[in-house]
Amino acid sequence: MRFVARNFSYQHPVFGRSKKAQSLTPYTHSVYYLWWEFLRRNTDYKKCCDNGGRGKLKSLYEDFGDIHSVDFKTWWQTDSRGANLFAEQLPPDFKVIASVEEFAERDRVILLQVPLSLPKRFLTQQFQKILNQHHEGRRGIRTNRISTAKYPITGHVDTDALEKCLRVYDMKVANPKMRLWEIAQECKVTKAKQFVKSDGTETQEEISDKKLILANTASRLLKRAEKIVAAVSGGMFPNSRQI
């Protein structure tokens, strides 16, 4: 049985000038776009792309392709790549199986034998027992918390924080000798009141304290970005609790 795309765990990218596209957050704030951007920072994957898909990341390349040769919109839409990689899948239909060949052998699907010669009430009781044994759902708890996407994204994902990580990462790569507090200030990753003023109105102690806050913020974001860049080459996108 062929599964088809159903939906996405997070808002998927929408392009164009339609009313729907205009009413949604720009696709550049999508977690799927950010996955693509982080993977573009991975040097091992860049080498794989340069080698035409050869190397230790060959299997990942077969799914993601050369992300350095096209823009995100083209990459996402070509052969429905975005949906194939990130969309959740429909479960099999709830129906009578006429033959064994129709059975969808998938996780969270069971095959039952129901003797219709037995009383309906008895069968209903037995079915309930089986559900209680095998079904993960409980009152007030989502039953679809296990992702069926090929590349799942689970848990809380803060896209604003991820964008800050990328800005800091790119600034550091472009300016390796730039001090961390300067990077944080340039990338505007903290509150404006924590920025170092250049008008001479602050004491040296105030300046030192602000530089320390800025440097620590940049260091934290940089480390997080490096972990994500490494993780996406393994087909994983860590959520806020995992890094």
pTM as predicted: 0.76
- The confidence score (pLDDT) of residue 109 equals 73
Q: Are 189 and 218 in contact (CB under 8 A)?
A: yes
Alpha helices in the chain (DSSP H): 19-23, 31-40, 43-50, 58-64, 72-77, 81-86, 120-134, 159-174, 180-187, 204-232
- The confidence score (pLDDT) of residue 3 equals 42
The mean pLDDT values, 10 residues at a time, for the chain of 243 residues are: 61 80 79 97 97 96 97 95 88 70 62 80 82 63 62 88 96 97 95 84 90 96 96 87 59
Q: Check residue 5 and report its DSSP letter.
A: E
- The confidence score (pLDDT) of residue 104 equals 60
Q: Are 15 and 33 in contact (CB under 8 A)?
A: no
- The confidence score (pLDDT) of residue 20 equals 67
DSSP element (H, E) containing 92 = none
- The confidence score (pLDDT) of residue 42 equals 98
Looking up tokens 């599964």 gives 3
